[in-house]
Amino acid sequence: MVKPDGVQRGIVGEIISRVEKKGLKIVALRMNVIAESVAKEHYNEHEDKPFFASLISYVTSGPSVSMVIEGKNAISTMRTINGATNPADALPGTIRGDFAIETGRNVVHASDSVDSGKREIGIHFEMSEISDYSKIDEEYLYE
């Protein structure tokens, strides 16, 4: 997900470009303002944390871009592309290392496991919205 700060800063294309240049495949994409109930469901593991209310307020403050991304090791690859959650710890060349300054405005979100990914995809997308296709370069990306 490109969060509202990434959309407002006009770096959605840069982020998508990094995903595609890495060889990952975008199979669903949507830009919308996430409803508060959807945001609470998405971030329910943080419900008891002191930053929960501000996180929900922020992620619903403007449009974000949600994506479903496929590819070998897509979750770990996306987390590497994104960089550390705290931008102060994110390496240069990562999205957060290049564009973010504060944890509360860290530009992107990526699922942390297959189970989380499945849960989050189910929150944001209907299965009919996810495209099943092969990219022409897949035979050159994978052994």
Beta bridge partners of 29: 67
Six token digits for residue 101: 């300054």
What lies within 8 Å, CB to CB, of 111 at 6+ separation is 75, 78, 117, 120
Task: Please write the tens of the pLDDT for every residue from 52-110.
Answer: 999 999 999 999 999 999 999 999 999 999 999 999 999 999 999 999 999 999 999 99
Count of structural domains within the chain: 1
Catalytic residues, by residue number, are 109
Residue-number span of the structural domain to which 29 is assigned? 4-127
Q: Is residue 137 in some structural domain? A: no
Task: Please write the tens of the pLDDT for every residue from 17-51.
Answer: 999 999 999 999 999 999 999 999 999 999 999 99
Q: Is residue 135 in some structural domain? A: no
Chain centroid to CA 111: 7
Domain CATH for 72: 3.30.70.141
